[in-house]
Structure 1
Amino acid sequence: MQQKLFSFLFTCLLLISVSYGQDFQVSGRVTSQADGNPIANVTVRVQGKNLSSQTDADGSYTIRAAEGNVIVFRSLGYKERSITVEKMSTINIQLEAEEGSIDEVLVVGYGSGNNIGSVVGSQVTVRAKDIAGKPAPNAIEALQGKVPGLSVMTSNGEPSTTQSIRLHGSGSLGASSTPLFVIDGIPVGSGSILSTNPDDWESITVLKDASATSIYGSRAANGVIYFKSKKGKASERATITASAMKGYNNLATKNMMDQMMNSKELQAYWLETGFRTQAQIDEINQTFGHNETVWGDYYYKKNTGLDQYNLNISGGSEKMQYYISSAYYDQEGIMYRSNFDRVTLRSNLSATLNDWIKAGLNLSGGYDKRMSNPYGGNSLNGALSLMALPWYSPFDENGNEYYEERIPGLDAYSPKYLADKNLNEGVNKQFNPTIFLQVQPYKGLTLKSTAGMDYFDYRISALRLPSYLGNLNNGSASEEYQTGILKTITNTIDYRTLIHNVHDISMMIGQEATDYDESSFSASGSGLTDDRLTLLGQTIANGRGVGSSKSEYAYNSYFGRLGYSYNAKYLLDLSLRTDASSRFGKNNRKATFWAAGVSWKAKSEKFLQDVSWLTDLTIKASIGTQGNSAIGNYQSLATVGSINYDGAPGWGVSSPGNPNLAWEQQTKTTLGVRASFLNQINLDVEVYKRVTDNMLVSVPYPYTSGFSSITSNVGSLENKGIDVQFSANAFRSEKFYFTPYVNFNYNQQKITELFQDKEYWIVPNTGLSWAVGKPVEFFFPVQAGVNPDNGLMQWYVPGENISDSNFDPNNVTTTFNAVDLQQSTGLRRDAPFTGGFGFTSGYNGFYLDMDFAFVKGKYMINNDLYFFSNPYQFRGYNQIRGVRDYWKEPGDQTRYPKFGQVHQFDTGLLEDASFLRLKGLRFGYNIPKKLLSGQKFFKSASVYYVGRNLWTKTKYLGPDPEVDSNLALGVNPNTKQSSLGIQLQF
């Protein structure tokens, strides 16, 4: 009996082992739970066996397994998922993105894109939650302080302003250093970003190294910023998201305003310097009373409005997905005649027509009205209004504001009156459609055609009403229309295959054609006499004028990429692109750019797999070339213009052209290490060297040649530095999380060659110099301080080579000469240190996010200070308190010389404009889902507060340190915002 029982059990075990030991082929498709898109390069492994595979570009995989085996699906940026094999040969699964993970599929330059873990090139992605819901009209500011190596500056407080952007320093001395902007695969101008809704972006990815950017060739020398718009999710019912935000604007900093003297201080200073007698002061007080006007509070409005409303609908079936949105944004500037009012619409549709055809159509349109304050520069109606004497008042004794009367003493109209009588407005219509057709005739092969357009129609209207008392019965009007259209057609063939489950090979070839056409015309007239009749037709004949312009350029490009991965451990990426541009001479229109990148996922090595504290270790290296063609459209051509000679019209050569003009080329080398520790701490470190050759520079020539300059390919420039990015999940539990981050860049610039064998060149009227072996530096007479014996300002006498700084205290002079005393100050034009830090945190539904941005080593010529600290030159105007520190008697150690000396254009105006700024603060509460579970109307709800530029730390004495310029003069300073918002999802 025991023997029979033993035999029976042995037979059962044998049958079970046979059953489970029979392998069969399992296949399927891996897609994203978020949007249903396929995920490439997912590692598919049979647990406990040396069997693994990877998904291809379509998310498909095959692997051998047996019933009862566990298959593990793993991909960077997604939660790991395990499936037990049953009696089935097909397993389709969806992976859920990890919270805080970056974009799952990155289109690094055409083709079908790669999983972020298999991308060789260097890139940083900012996701939707960090972009939307900010009190700013465009999304570019969301990148400030978030991307190491990317400098983002908002140079003025106009709501319609676009940011200044540079990646890894200024890459050229003559051509633009602005990155290439791409929306859903179509290149666009930077102005297009202002006409789109930040809430529509799923992500913004900054492509940084040659491996990532060289495929864009002709315009990628300064990096690429890729905007990916939101799409609907597959097999999900329609989701409606509505949000509203309302807030107000104020000056971001009052540094300049707070330094101005009040009435008591200024009158005491005048008495002390002998500018006014006590009797004259008494007469002033008797005439104007004891007013104490803070003119900054009058010319800069307080608590101006900001409104933002968003509504979008997304969803889809298995075959079709959609995302439809509408938004309204309205921000009033703090200066009069400053406003931005915008409406945007977007419709993104994608459809799987059958098993091998997919199509999509993205439509984006914007309509906005822009007004900008016109009183910049040396205007007493703008930034220099702070010089108005504090005892003058814009209100009469009854508290009524002077409107049609000039302000007594100041002899100026109120800014409100000027705004009402001098009208200007820009109206922009933006349209950005994109359509694509994707065909997969058989597995691994993808053919894709994409066509897109970047179109704008901009109308500028200006009107000075005839009733304006400053020019009564002589009103004027002008109209200008600008239209531009950038058309791009791209065709690619993409093939991907996986051989023996270890050799992942991808190949892509493509062609792209770009054509741009811009035209404008304008008309103006004067002599209007009635506020009701202000059209151009009412102007007088002899006061009219007309103008027009036209400009075109085109590119034709061919490109290819080869990618190889061995066992998802060793990765290689090669790219090649040939561009032809109409901007260059006919013999030099074509240029070829290339890149090579390698990546080693060291954590996958056996000797590191058991190191539990090391979650990930990836080493990357790349080298490649990019091109820059960001110059005028006709620099290579000799052009003519109309002239008037002896009363008769004629023609004359206006530009000699340069038939040998060619591409500016750049070579960039990058080495990076990415590491993750304990699955909590992330660290990215990259070092780079960026060399620009054949720079496109306007080379000066003697006027005897008939021309002042000719655009040529000359000189070379080097930028090298390091990017560091750190983040950590410091605390994380079911109720609480705290995730800090820090990133920074150090960039060192050096000019290695100039033109005409020059060792240095002083850039006229800029206060800057170019010198071989140095970065772009400020070039000014250098103050040596006030002579304590006689109270005269001293300047260092330059050495024999004025491109070197000479601060010899024994070689100074008290005689100022702007030409003879100019020399290198040793101070850089571009800041070497930029970065940001902050954190995201939450507890039991509440959340608090803070983002800081900083710039260190930034200097700027504060031209406003020439007016605000020049009491002898501008007697009768208010000045800063600092001028009271002036020399009075021998032995005084003072900042300013004795009264009677004029403040010169020297390093006394050159200030440290480094700053630390709280760029964003967000505090809110997500209403718990259990409170919403009893109904089917709301899916989620949240309320929040959001602030921008709430706090600034700087030594700069001007209106705003964030101005990205060598010289600041009368700028409309940055603003800070505080807003309350609500978001509902249905």
Structure 2
Amino acid sequence: MRSKFKWTLALFMALIVQVSFAQEKTLSGVVTESGVPLPGATVIVKGTQHGTQTDLDGRYTLKVNPGDVLVFSFIGLTDLSYTVGVPNSYNASMSADEEMLDEVVVLAYGQVKNKNEVTGNVVTVKSDVIANTPLPTIDQALQGRVSGLQMSSSSGVPGAVQNIRIRGRNSLTATNEPLIVIDGIPVINSNFAGSTDESSLSALAALDSNDIESMTVLKDAGATAVYGARGTNGVILITTKKGKSGATKFELKTTLGFQNYAVKGPRMLTGAQKKELYLEGVYNTFGVANGFGRDEAYAFTEANASGLAGGTSLVNWVKGGEVETNWGDLVKKKDAPVSTVSFSASGGDESSSFYASLGHNKTEGTVIGSDFRRISGVFSFNKKLSDKFDFNTNINVSNVKQNGLLEGAAYFSNPNLTKLFMSPWIPAYNADGTYNLPRSGLHNILYTTENNITTNDLTRVLNSNVVSYKITDNLKFTSSIALDYALAAYKSYKNPVHGDGDGIGGYVVNSINRNFNYVAQNSLDYRFYVGEGHRFDVKLVYEFQKNKSHLLEGEGQAVASGFTSLGTTADNHFASANFTDWMQQGYVGLLSYNYQNRYLIDLTGRREGSSRFSEGSQWGNFFSVGAAWNISEEEFLSNQETLSLLRLRGSYGTNGNSTISPNQYQQLLKFEIYDHEGGLVPSQLGGPLSWEKQKKMDVGLEFGFLDNRISGSFAYYKSMTDDLIYAKPLSYTSGYATQYVNLGALENSGFEVDLNFDIVRSKDFNLSLGGNIGTVKNKITEMPLGPDGKPLEVLGSYSANVEGKAIGEWYMPTYAGVDVQTGEALWFKKDGGTTNAYGQAEKRFQGASALPTYSGGVNLHVDYKGFFINSLVAFSGGNKVYEDWVAQTNGSGATTTATYNGVEKLMDRWQNPGDVTDVPKTVNRNTANSSQSTSPSTRFLYDGDYIRLRDVSFGYNFRGAILRTLSLDGLTLSVIGTNLLTKVKDDRLKYDPEIDPTGFTSLTAPPIKSVVFSLNIKF
């Protein structure tokens, strides 16, 4: 009996132990990557919805049963599984998943989210693409890769500013350029050249593309409202590379290549062609009245050379043997070399990591006198000081030296002008080999380029310092200060022998521009959960930004022989100094809600003040609401395999535009000198002024099929800007030309499509094809009222700003060709007839502006057993381009055929009654019709549509035994081509179609095409 009782008691105790063991246990632990805590990692019981996420210190606590399988996951890391056993704590160390890293998106103020957690419209371009774009400014890597982003170059001189428009033009007077943010620093992205008359210098030219981890373009209010009054034109976030824990890794990359013009440009007249046109003009002007025929035109010219425009020049050229000078070839540097080298190291341990690099870039311009050199150094360091404190610092120091050009306008020492304007009858050299130096007219650019100096020297320091403190498991405080210092030194020397310095003993201009920008930020991050699957993230930010700019400039004439410095000038000294500053202050709140990664809501609010605006108008409020539904995460789609991704997202919010010159609202006086006395005179009227206000709406659908072998997105957007900052014209009786006011409104709308097809996926062979296109429709919806109470119509010679039309829509007479009987130019009148009197022609809207209405790109990737090919074709169109300086190069009178030079198109001129052509007859004097034939009209207005082979690369990634033999982690050889082919829709357009936002061709260095060989070694 006692024995039976013992066995019963033993069985009962075993059951108690079994039941107790089967009950839920509390499991806690820390999730890390290489010893660094991972906040936001997901810990879930496999096969259930039961789970949690780690706090700001990587810790988690979860109720589990023995035998449960826990799955640890984090964006960019491989999943880790663990079967629950007896221990009541478990620490998980996770490792990087290279494929998943592509899904991480960097957002404003340090937010890092999985692509499927983002409610805004953002596009990220990764480091491999940026590093393989062999151009001096990193923003050029975005062209053709981001739907809705349009880019054009202000000049082909290395380091020149790029013009970027995201979803169109949002302002009439304020900037239309996006905000640039580097590692959280809203930086100054100005032109740092010392003179607006010469080649521009982009602030981004100070960055080495090999140091960039990613560039993220924020387009809608859901992504940009957090930047308030600076986010109207979109935001480009640039993230630099950081170190990773582990053994130190080294990378060496070097390139060598050559550059040429991307487009040859218009073909100019040869000496013989110009002679033919000139003599025909002499016959057309004087032949009948003086009784000579075409064949006798030269004899008449020789006899009357001094009385005819260009007569002496032609006679001297003929007597000299008719030796032609091809000035276009003389100003061009064929196969201009480019070389770069970059060396970096990164590594760390469990508590710290670092990244360091050195870089050098030497790029020769394709136009004589232009080149670019950059030296850069980067150091980034992360340190976990304790369980609660973390510290990070980044510093980027670079020096850029750019030899630029007088370009853009009709400067006689502009080599881009010389190739178009300079007569082939004028020799570059004398018979003894010395330079021919004309005493009047255009300069011999070969001499002035060799003996003049135009230098921009920019030193830039970017530094950010961040310290964070964990207050509780879910609450963290972060404080940062970021510094952006730029010192731009400029020197211009014009020699006293020939050119601009002739007659004044030469002259020198020196300037120093110091710009200091700093941004201080303090933030609180808090994460909490409500129930199961309801995650909330709260971020509060205080931000203060101040910018100070000092300019000191001096100039003098009569330079001492053999010297080029300002201190050696003896006459007409002039000095000036300028100081400006401005401040921005903002309070930001962000709230994100995530329910099981299915339903997402983002709320953003910002209150901001700016010193750029008048008292009472300095503060504004901005907000956005963004939401997304990850439909593919729903249970009703869990059992199918075709649909990989389906998500619907949208946002609505407000932005502003405060990027104008300081003090526009103030009534200003300026200092003037008269008769050696100084005094103050009124210079600006001033008045109440505030920022432009914009409302943005964006909706989109993202999808993926067959494990995302087919993926893409569609989006529609609309933005409405009111209270435009507008330079309102004033009556001259007021003493002022304009006054800045908040008047008028405009809107942009359009569609964006991104598609990608992974046609083949395998271990040894992959083939993918993708593309994007974005459209924009721009319209002025409200113009200020004029004196008559009606909307103001600003009608210019070429374009107009009128309510209901696009900004700057082309507005000019329509060209009707040439009168077949007289050879004179004709234009259409209002009644539909034609006239040879330009003043009687009707000005008409031409249905397009300078802004493209669509742009995009198509990309191809192929790799096979280490070999790879990547290509990108970019396209743009829907706009019109106007050929400028046509009075000099396309005239039918003496200005072109006698004084300067003309385009080859002039050979198609009218010669005899009955000839059908659009080129008027040539004459030797500037008659009314010949002068008016180059007046603004559609004769020189072209379709701007083009397609360009933007990038193509071919190379080989060495693998396996070769790397082991060489003790290398990676070795890549490649050749990269940029802008190799360009096709324009309108064959009349001979200039490069990538025109700046004004829509006019200009006398600047054309964009380049290049072929670059690259070697990349990792060890």
TM-score, structure 1 length as denominator? 0.91
1:622 to 636, 641, 651: 651
* 2:180 alignment partner in structure 1: 181
Which secondary structure state, in structure 2, belongs to the residue aligned with residue 973 of structure 1? coil
The separation in 2 between residues aligned to 1:153 and 1:893, in whole angstroms, is 37
The separation in 1 between residues aligned to 2:101 and 2:572, in whole angstroms, is 62
Could you say if the C-alpha distance between residues 788 and 847 of structure 1 is closer, same or farther in structure 2, counting changes exceeding 3 Å? same
Deviation at 1:260, TM superposition (A): 2.7
Deviation at 1:268, TM superposition (A): 4.3
Amino acid at match of 1:666: Q
Which secondary structure state, in structure 2, belongs to the residue aligned with residue 146 of structure 1? coil
Which secondary structure state, in structure 2, belongs to the residue aligned with residue 374 of structure 1? coil
Q: Within 5 A, what are the aligned runs for 1:727-766?
A: 727-756=756-785, 757-762=789-794, 764=796
Q: Within 5 A, what are the aligned runs for 1:311-460?
A: 311-379=343-411, 381-384=414-417, 385-390=419-424, 393-394=427-428, 402-406=433-437, 414-460=444-490
The separation in 2 between residues aligned to 1:661 and 1:286, in whole angstroms, is 64
Task: Report whether the alignment pairs 1:924 with 2:947.
Answer: no
Which secondary structure state, in structure 1, belongs to the residue aligned with residue 171 of structure 2? coil
* 2:567 alignment partner in structure 1: 537
Q: Give a deviation string over 1:919-947, Cα, whole Å, max 9, x none.
A: 212211111132121454x2221111112
Task: Report whether the alignment pairs 1:492 with 2:523.
Answer: yes
Q: Give a deviation string over 1:471-503, Cα, whole Å, max 9, x none.
A: 278132221111110111000011012233311
Q: Is the 8 A contact 1:766 1:966 kept in 2?
A: no
Q: Give a deviation string over 1:825-867, Cα, whole Å, max 9, x none.
A: 2222211001111122211111111112111113222114443
Q: Is the 8 A contact 2:79 2:94 kept in 1?
A: no
Of residues 755-764 and 224-233 in structure 1, the stretch that sits farther from structure 2 once superposed is 755-764
Which secondary structure state, in structure 2, belongs to the residue aligned with residue 817 of structure 1? helix
Could you say if the C-alpha distance between residues 838 and 101 of structure 1 is closer, same or farther in structure 2, counting changes exceeding 3 Å? farther
Task: Report whether the alignment pairs 1:861 with 2:882.
Answer: yes
Task: Report whether the alignment pairs 1:703 with 2:746.
Answer: no
Q: Is the 8 A contact 1:455 1:484 kept in 2?
A: yes
* 1:523 alignment partner in structure 2: 554
Amino acid at match of 1:90: Y
Q: Give a deviation string over 1:134-189, Cα, whole Å, max 9, x none.
A: 32112100111111111121231010202111111001111101111111111101
Q: Within 5 A, what are the aligned runs for 1:825-844?
A: 825-844=846-865
2:232 to 221, 228, 232: 221
Deviation at 1:38, TM superposition (A): 2.9
Of residues 716-725 and 762-771 in structure 1, the stretch that sits farther from structure 2 once superposed is 762-771
Task: Report whether the alignment pairs 1:971 with 2:1004.
Answer: yes
Q: Is the 8 A contact 1:379 1:970 kept in 2?
A: no
The separation in 2 between residues aligned to 1:961 and 1:126, in whole angstroms, is 25
The separation in 2 between residues aligned to 1:177 and 1:746, in whole angstroms, is 17
Amino acid at match of 1:856: G
The separation in 2 between residues aligned to 1:608 and 1:104, in whole angstroms, is 24
Q: Is the 8 A contact 2:656 2:694 kept in 1?
A: yes
The separation in 2 between residues aligned to 1:933 and 1:86, in whole angstroms, is 41
2:212 to 192, 201, 210: 201
The separation in 1 between residues aligned to 2:728 and 2:353, in whole angstroms, is 54
* 1:816 alignment partner in structure 2: 838
Deviation at 1:222, TM superposition (A): 0.9
* 2:701 alignment partner in structure 1: 673
Which secondary structure state, in structure 1, belongs to the residue aligned with residue 991 of structure 2? coil
The separation in 2 between residues aligned to 1:776 and 1:609, in whole angstroms, is 52
The separation in 2 between residues aligned to 1:473 and 1:755, in whole angstroms, is 48
Of residues 96-105 and 414-423 in structure 1, the stretch that sits farther from structure 2 once superposed is 96-105
Q: Is the 8 A contact 1:405 1:413 kept in 2?
A: no
Deviation at 1:786, TM superposition (A): 2.6
1:248 to 249, 258, 268: 258
The separation in 2 between residues aligned to 1:383 and 1:216, in whole angstroms, is 40
2:221 to 194, 203, 210: 210
The separation in 2 between residues aligned to 1:693 and 1:491, in whole angstroms, is 32
Q: Is the 8 A contact 1:762 1:779 kept in 2?
A: no
* 2:199 alignment partner in structure 1: none
* 2:897 alignment partner in structure 1: 875
Amino acid at match of 1:214: A
The separation in 1 between residues aligned to 2:829 and 2:79, in whole angstroms, is 69
The separation in 1 between residues aligned to 2:869 and 2:33, in whole angstroms, is 29
* 2:166 alignment partner in structure 1: 167
* 2:198 alignment partner in structure 1: none
* 1:96 alignment partner in structure 2: 96
Q: Is the 8 A contact 2:798 2:936 kept in 1?
A: no
TM-score, structure 2 length as denominator? 0.88
Could you say if the C-alpha distance between residues 77 and 672 of structure 1 is closer, same or farther in structure 2, counting changes exceeding 3 Å? farther
Amino acid at match of 2:663: Y
The separation in 2 between residues aligned to 1:342 and 1:708, in whole angstroms, is 42
Which secondary structure state, in structure 2, belongs to the residue aligned with residue 721 of structure 1? strand
The separation in 2 between residues aligned to 1:59 and 1:269, in whole angstroms, is 81
Q: Is the 8 A contact 1:473 1:529 kept in 2?
A: no
Which secondary structure state, in structure 2, belongs to the residue aligned with residue 795 of structure 1? strand
Which secondary structure state, in structure 2, belongs to the residue aligned with residue 967 of structure 1? coil
Structure 1: give runs of 5+ residues left out of the alignment.
Answer: 1-9, 799-807
Q: Within 5 A, what are the aligned runs for 1:842-853?
A: 842-853=863-874
Task: Report whether the alignment pairs 1:307 with 2:336.
Answer: no
Q: Is the 8 A contact 2:427 2:436 kept in 1?
A: no
% identical aligned pairs: 28
Deviation at 1:565, TM superposition (A): 1.4
Deviation at 1:891, TM superposition (A): 4.0
The separation in 2 between residues aligned to 1:844 and 1:981, in whole angstroms, is 19
* 1:805 alignment partner in structure 2: none
Quote the RMSD (CA, aligned, Å): 2.9
Q: Within 5 A, what are the aligned runs for 1:634-713?
A: 634-644=663-673, 648-658=677-687, 660-679=688-707, 680-713=709-742
* 1:567 alignment partner in structure 2: 596
Which secondary structure state, in structure 1, belongs to the residue aligned with residue 405 of structure 2? coil
Which secondary structure state, in structure 1, belongs to the residue aligned with residue 328 of structure 2? helix
Q: Give a deviation string over 1:660-693, Cα, whole Å, max 9, x none.
A: 2112110001101111111212111111110001
Task: Report whether the alignment pairs 1:232 with 2:209.
Answer: no
Could you say if the C-alpha distance between residues 375 and 145 of structure 1 is closer, same or farther in structure 2, counting changes exceeding 3 Å? closer
Task: Report whether the alignment pairs 1:133 with 2:156.
Answer: no
Amino acid at match of 2:1003: G
Could you say if the C-alpha distance between residues 834 and 61 of structure 1 is closer, same or farther in structure 2, counting changes exceeding 3 Å? farther
Amino acid at match of 1:208: K
Could you say if the C-alpha distance between residues 97 and 39 of structure 1 is closer, same or farther in structure 2, counting changes exceeding 3 Å? farther
Amino acid at match of 1:857: G
Could you say if the C-alpha distance between residues 64 and 615 of structure 1 is closer, same or farther in structure 2, counting changes exceeding 3 Å? farther
Q: Give a deviation string over 1:512-555, Cα, whole Å, max 9, x none.
A: 11111111111111112311x44333322x42111111101111
Count of residues in Structure 1 that have an aligned counterpart in Structure 2: 952
Q: Is the 8 A contact 1:181 1:226 kept in 2?
A: yes
Q: Is the 8 A contact 1:767 1:966 kept in 2?
A: no
* 2:308 alignment partner in structure 1: none
Deviation at 1:104, TM superposition (A): 2.2
Could you say if the C-alpha distance between residues 773 and 264 of structure 1 is closer, same or farther in structure 2, counting changes exceeding 3 Å? closer
The separation in 2 between residues aligned to 1:105 and 1:17, in whole angstroms, is 48
Could you say if the C-alpha distance between residues 84 and 43 of structure 1 is closer, same or farther in structure 2, counting changes exceeding 3 Å? same
Deviation at 1:192, TM superposition (A): 3.4
Could you say if the C-alpha distance between residues 111 and 868 of structure 1 is closer, same or farther in structure 2, counting changes exceeding 3 Å? closer
Could you say if the C-alpha distance between residues 112 and 126 of structure 1 is closer, same or farther in structure 2, counting changes exceeding 3 Å? closer
Q: Within 5 A, what are the aligned runs for 1:78-89?
A: 82-88=81-87, 89=89
The separation in 2 between residues aligned to 1:574 and 1:373, in whole angstroms, is 49
Which secondary structure state, in structure 2, belongs to the residue aligned with residue 386 of structure 1? helix
* 1:897 alignment partner in structure 2: 920
Q: Is the 8 A contact 2:147 2:774 kept in 1?
A: yes
* 1:802 alignment partner in structure 2: none
Q: Is the 8 A contact 1:57 1:114 kept in 2?
A: no
Amino acid at match of 1:348: S
Task: Report whether the alignment pairs 1:507 with 2:510.
Answer: no
Of residues 512-521 and 761-770 in structure 1, the stretch that sits farther from structure 2 once superposed is 761-770
